[in-house]
Amino acid sequence: MKRTLGTCYYPEHWPEDIWPDDARRMVELGLTWVRIGEFAWSRIEPAPRQLDWGWLDRAVDILTGAGLQIVMGTPSATPPRWMLDKWPDMLAVDATGHSRGFGSRRHYCFSHEAYRDEAARMAGLMAERYADRVSAWQTDNEYGCHDTVLSYSESARDAFRDWLRHRYQTPEALNSAWGNVFWSMDYSDFDQIDLPNLTVTEPNPAHALAFRRFSSDQVVRWNRAQVDAIRRHSDAPISHNYMGRVTEFDHYATGADMEIATWDSYPMGFLLDRVPGGDKQAFLRQGDPDFQAFHHDLYRAVGRGRWWVMEQQPGPVNWAPWNPAPLPGMVRLWTWEAFAHGAEAVCWFRWRQAPFAQEQQHAGLLRPDSVPAQGHAEAAQVARDLADTPDVEAAQAPVALVFDYTSQWAWEVQPQGAGFDHFALCFNLYRALRSLGLSIDILPPDATTLEGYKLTLIPGLLTLSPPLRAAIAVADGLVLTGPRTDLKTDTLRFKDPLGPDIPGLDATSIMEETFPPNAPRPLTGGGHATLWLEHLETRARVIETTTDGTPALIHSDNRLHLTTWPDPAAARRILGALAREASLDTHDLPPGLRIRDTGSERFVFNYAATPALFEGQTIAPADFLRLPLHPG
């Protein structure tokens, strides 16, 4: 498959007479795709049912006429002001009970049915009008951005009650599943159940987790309404642009309804805003060396192999606490890293920097005065690279890591130790695997097979799904579970008998304890147990303990269980030993050097601001090597 490039463009921001020149320059730059439309509702429908397609028709004509392919975004992330006059109760409500306001974006509640219908109506109208000229679709924009999945509105409350009715059928069944006998929380009618905010102390964790599942399902339903509306008119692939470390809804579930997953990659914004751990100082102008890769691998799973970067940072952004300029070379490196992980396309956000409104300090490929900006030359270089070099060949990685949204919600609801976060746990182990030079596939929690993986990690999983349990039972490779895997049921109660219940491994956790960051427990082999420790009864071989003798890692045939959250040194040591046992090809990489193997090549990326040495070859800062890979 030929890898392609594109950009995000807002014709409605610019005078029409520059559109032809913009289109010509995009083609000259080597771009294939242009994404438009996703915030343009107020210009497409300036007043209810008054549609103004003229300008968008002309933009589509000019862009396609120049040879570009269009990704059309539906504009539901930005309901126009009149929509609020029509549906004053459509606003999302925060956990303190306050409505969110108009004046930016994403101010709708996913449970407001009338607005969902309006959004699906608009998606259908766009699909009907442009089906023959659009090559791909994007629904909405960045579900979850600005903390917008959870809403405590009346619409959400009513829909939650219906969701519970459907799930539990009777209040008695719900009371029993949640343990509502505790603190006299029994209900006799579903209409007595409120959302789990504004309680005096914490709500029942089963209640809170049910609300998180419900809120995720609302996003899936919301998205499906638009997907269905588009499909009535168009066969072009449909996607949504996901984000970095947004975990409030199950992306695998939305992904199942669409052909392609895409995500928006802002490495330097992420670094200071949401990357757990790592060296922020060393990577200030490059971004974290593992964070983008983690999401590339995650969204490859969400898209079942088909994924893009829909928005790629081309220069400084405007929204992190501080916004440095990328080190020269990074725009090209980030783009190639995405291709090395299998991206079909990478599109830069945005074509031209806006001179007005919220994002005026956010770089584009062009400056506001239309002169090429820093990223433009690197984009041109990538286009030349693509023309001159062989395509990237996809291949299954030798290591798998299971990542699960429900487990993220479960441990947010019931952390037990501050900072127990499924994403951070998975990401820390992912980072350790990458420091060993390994390539990784991320798998969903209902993966049906582990075939071909020499090592699989299943950390912090609330429950083992039946298919995953069956896959573990027959896995040939090493399977490492824990910490905190399979100790609870899906309503967050202890298993009976106590877990974990890992096929082929005898272990029972009889107590779990947590401890603060300044009180880690040393491990006998080096490094520390941090945050969480299960006390196991087991007949399996204990291969490592804390220095006070608590089992940290147990082993039986090719199954292992970790009872603690290892610090970076311990994670690297333990995973290194397992990787060698699994006959994986490991390296001892410095924090800035990262490897990604494809079917035929090894990419070696240097995220460091200084030159790096890899097997005798020097890699300049913000540069990479492509080495042929000889199997075996």
Cite the active site residues.
142, 311
Least Cβ distance, residue 600 to ligand GAL (angstroms): 34
Question: What is the total count of residues that contact ligand GAL (CB under 6 A)?
Answer: 11
Contact letters (x/-) for ligand GAL, 138-157, by CB under 6 A?
Answer: ---xx--x------------
Which phi and psi angles does 282 have, rounded to 5°? -65, -25
CA distance 526 to 174: 46
Least Cβ distance, residue 526 to ligand GAL (angstroms): 40
Q: Which stretch binds ligand GAL (CB under 6 A): 137-145, 204-212, 214-222, 544-552?
A: 137-145
Q: Dump strand ranges (E) for 269-396.
A: 307-312, 345-348
Q: Which stretch binds ligand GAL (CB under 6 A): 311-319, 449-457, 594-602, 613-621?
A: 311-319
Least Cβ distance, residue 37 to ligand GAL (angstroms): 12
To the nearest 10 degrees (0 to 180), the angle between helices 330-340 and 374-388 is 40
3-state SS, one letter per residue, for 195-218 = CCCCCCCCCCHHHHHHHHHHHHHH
Bridge partner residues of 481 (DSSP): 458, 561
Cβ closest to ligand GAL, residue 141 vs residue 407: 141
Cβ closest to ligand GAL, residue 145 vs residue 380: 145
CA distance 350 to 537: 56
- CA end-to-end span of the chain, whole Å? 25
- Of these, 109, 317, 363, 383, which contacts ligand GAL (CB under 6 A)? 317
- Of these, 107, 157, 251, 362, which contacts ligand GAL (CB under 6 A)? 362
Cβ closest to ligand GAL, residue 242 vs residue 614: 242
Residue 42 to residues 77, 317, 461, Cα–Cα distance (Å): 12, 25, 43
Least Cβ distance, residue 319 to ligand GAL (angstroms): 6
- Of these, 311, 404, 441, 601, which contacts ligand GAL (CB under 6 A)? 311
Least Cβ distance, residue 118 to ligand GAL (angstroms): 21
For 120, counting Cβ atoms within 10 Å of its Cβ (0-12 exposed, 13-18 middle, 19+ buried), the class is buried
In this structure, are residues 312 and 338 in contact, taking their beta carbons and an 8 Å threshold? yes
Cβ closest to ligand GAL, residue 102 vs residue 319: 319
Cβ closest to ligand GAL, residue 148 vs residue 598: 148
In this structure, are residues 480 and 502 in contact, taking their beta carbons and an 8 Å threshold? no
Peptide bond into 596 cis (omega under 30): no
CA distance 241 to 263: 5
Cβ closest to ligand GAL, residue 249 vs residue 411: 249
State which of positions 238-277 bind ligand GAL (CB under 6 A).
Answer: 264, 266
State which of positions 318-347 bind ligand GAL (CB under 6 A).
Answer: 319
Cβ closest to ligand GAL, residue 378 vs residue 567: 378
In this structure, are residues 331 and 378 in contact, taking their beta carbons and an 8 Å threshold? yes
Does 349 bind ligand GAL (CB under 6 A)? Our answer is: yes
Q: Dump strand ranges (E) for 169-268.
A: 238-242, 260-265
Least Cβ distance, residue 77 to ligand GAL (angstroms): 8
Does 430 bind ligand GAL (CB under 6 A)? Our answer is: no
Least Cβ distance, residue 523 to ligand GAL (angstroms): 40
Tokens of 200: 């005096």
Cβ closest to ligand GAL, residue 19 vs residue 266: 266
Residue 187 to residues 153, 171, 190, 211, 398, Cα–Cα distance (Å): 21, 6, 7, 16, 50
Least Cβ distance, residue 349 to ligand GAL (angstroms): 5
Least Cβ distance, residue 142 to ligand GAL (angstroms): 5
**DSSP letter string over 468-479?**
HHHHHHT--SEE
Cβ closest to ligand GAL, residue 270 vs residue 430: 270
| Other residues' Cβ atoms within 10 Å of the Cβ of residue 503 | 16
Does 299 bind ligand GAL (CB under 6 A)? Our answer is: no
For 519, counting Cβ atoms within 10 Å of its Cβ (0-12 exposed, 13-18 middle, 19+ buried), the class is exposed
For 54, counting Cβ atoms within 10 Å of its Cβ (0-12 exposed, 13-18 middle, 19+ buried), the class is exposed
In this structure, are residues 325 and 374 in contact, taking their beta carbons and an 8 Å threshold? yes
Torsion of CA 413, 418, 423, 428, to 10 degrees: -160
Least Cβ distance, residue 134 to ligand GAL (angstroms): 19
In this structure, are residues 80 and 45 in contact, taking their beta carbons and an 8 Å threshold? yes
Cβ closest to ligand GAL, residue 190 vs residue 348: 348
- Which residues are at the interface with ligand GAL (CB under 6 A)? 141-142, 145, 264, 266, 311, 317, 319, 349, 359, 362
